[in-house]
Every structure is written in structure tokens, then in C-alpha cells.
Amino acid sequence: MPTVSFTVDLDPTPAYYAIHGLPWSGGEDPILKSGLRRLIDLLKEEGIPATLFVTGGSLGPDEWALLREAADAGCELADHSFSHDYRLSLRPQEDIVTDLKRNAFALRENTGMTPRGFRAPGYNTSPAMLAALREMGYRYDASRLPSPFYHTAKQILIWLKRLAGKRSASFVGSFVEGCGPQEPLMLEGGLVELPITTLFPPVGLPLIGTALIAFPAILAHLMVSRALKRDIAHIEMHAIDFAETADGPALESLRGKQPDLAYGIERKIKRTRAAIRRFKDRGFTFETLSVVADRTA
């Protein structure tokens, strides 16, 4: 039976400020407050589990309560680092382990769930990071995005921001990883790599929230159609895909800069729900990444 994993990175609002070289002055995080609520409601309505990648350093009591609700509904809570430092992969292994231990502790203390997998901020990984995951005893890594299209576009945008006098915290770690295998694979030490689905090689259009929501409807439909031909699919979205600028003044500064905020919540929910239901109608089983990793191993 074909399977699909629906995964969501819970990147906080300050992470997007860092991408665009903007100063963050603190305050309420509208993405995590409103986006996470809508995401959980959608998952419950559709009756599917998801793997949520959590950045513990950005969460308050209300957000932790929402994550406990998600876990009770069958979702997996995985590690997205404590700090969401885009350059975490460049740090020594011991520093990476310290960050991951802080996040794992926060998850256990606030939800009772011990993370089994990881996704790196900005999809950037390294030998030191993979070694840190093995040291943590993690089952899988889900950082690989084999999309030359995405990584090239990302690098161009970083250069354009620099020309405009803005220094982005984001960076492209390796174009080689952007051209890697698209199927689950075993790495050294029993670690399983679970790449995000990309389509139409060698371009590699990524099956991510920005594509499902912002691409022309015919292209988004075609991408899902191609993914439906696979035995395993891996969709990746972000909490910002379930937020809109009206959710809080902090998002106004990102208007016109962040493509995820160019559309209202009605379009976002409609397109996401449509993709989910197409997988359901084709007979796909929705599974968390932990389940896929265990079966792959």
C-alpha cells in the first residue's frame, strides 16, 4: 500500500526576520499562535497524523499545550533544533549535541514525547551534524531536499538581499546534497535518511507548502499527480503556511518578502486539504516519519 508522510516545520516568526536580514524586537509570535492552531484543526478534521518538527526555544505554555493536543491526536513530535540557528550545521559536533539535548529535554518535559528524528534548519546538514544525530540515538534525519531548483533559487535570493544591503542568516550549505537520491536510504550507524519529495528531475520541484499554495493551480495539481505515482511520498510544510498577515503586526514587516504570506488563509487551507484528499482518494496511508524509518530499516 502506498504511503505518504505529512510533515510540518514549526519555524518561529523571528526565523523569517533572520532570513530577510530584519531585526526582531521580540513580542508575540503570530505564526506559532495562529498557524499551529489551524494546522491541528485541519489534521483532526482530516483524521491524519503528521510529523511536527519542533523548535523548543521559541515555545511558550500555550504552544506547548497545542503540541500536547497534537500528540494526543496521533502526531509525532520531532527535533528541529532548540535555537533554529541556520548555521547550526557549521558548528562543532559537541555544540550541535548541546543544542539537540536542550530541545529533546524541552520536548520530554512539556509533552512527554522523546524525539526520534531531526530536520535541520534551512535543510543544511554536515558530517558533524549527522554524527550528533547518531550520538543522540536518533532513528532518522529528514533534512535532505534534493532540489536543484530550490537551492539555486535560494542562493540567488540571498545574493539579491546582499546587494540590497540586507544580510540573510540563511545560506546554501551544499549543492551536492541538492542533487542527491530521492528515496529513503540507510546511512552509517543505522541512521535512516528520509528525503522530502521532489518532482520533475533534474529540476526537482519540491513538494512543499510554498509550491502547493503559491504555484499556479495547474502546476500544483500536476505536482501532486506525479507524486501519486510513487509508493512513498513526503510532503513538507511550515507553520507559516497556516498563517496570514492579519494574524499579527509582526507579520506586516514580512509582507512582500515572504511568499507564504501573499495569500489568505482560505486559499492555504483549501489547497492543502485538496492535496491531502487526493492522496486519500488514491488509497495512500498517512504515516509519521518514525513509522517509515522503522520500516525502511
The answer to whether 133 touches 85, Cβ cutoff 8 Å, is: no
SS3 assignment, position 208: strand
pLDDT of residue 297: 79
List the domain boundaries for the chain.
3-296
Using the structure block, give the residue that is written with the C-alpha cell 520531532: 78
CA–CA separation, 100 and 254 (whole Å): 29
The answer to whether 65 touches 83, Cβ cutoff 8 Å, is: no
Closest CA to 143 of 227, 95, 83, 206: 206
Using the structure block, give the residue that is written with the C-alpha cell 540507510: 186
Beta strands in 117-220 (DSSP E): 117-118, 140-141, 185-186, 192-193, 198-199, 205-206
Say how many C-beta atoms besides its own lie within 10 A of residue 77's C-beta: 27
pLDDT of residue 27: 82
Q: Which residues contact 59 (CB under 8 A, 6 or more apart)?
A: 32, 67, 106, 110
The answer to whether 288 touches 7, Cβ cutoff 8 Å, is: no
pLDDT of residue 180: 77
Question: pLDDT tens digits for the chain (297 residues)?
Answer: 899 999 999 999 999 999 999 999 888 899 999 999 999 999 999 999 999 999 999 999 999 999 999 999 999 999 999 999 999 999 999 999 999 999 999 999 999 999 999 999 999 999 999 999 999 999 999 999 999 999 999 999 899 989 989 999 998 987 777 777 889 999 999 999 999 999 999 999 999 999 999 999 999 999 999 999 999 999 999 999 999 999 999 999 999 999 989 999 999 999 999 999 999 999 999 999 999 999 997
Q: Which CATH class is domain 3-296?
A: alpha beta
Type of residue numbered 123 = Y
SS3 assignment, position 142: coil
pLDDT of residue 179: 78
Using the structure block, give the residue that is written with the C-alpha cell 511558550: 60
Angle, CA 41 vertex, CA 40 and CA 45 arms, to 5° = 115
pLDDT of residue 220: 98
The answer to whether 25 touches 71, Cβ cutoff 8 Å, is: no
As to burial, measured by CB atoms within 10 angstroms (0-12 exposed, 13-18 middle, 19+ buried), residue 251 is buried
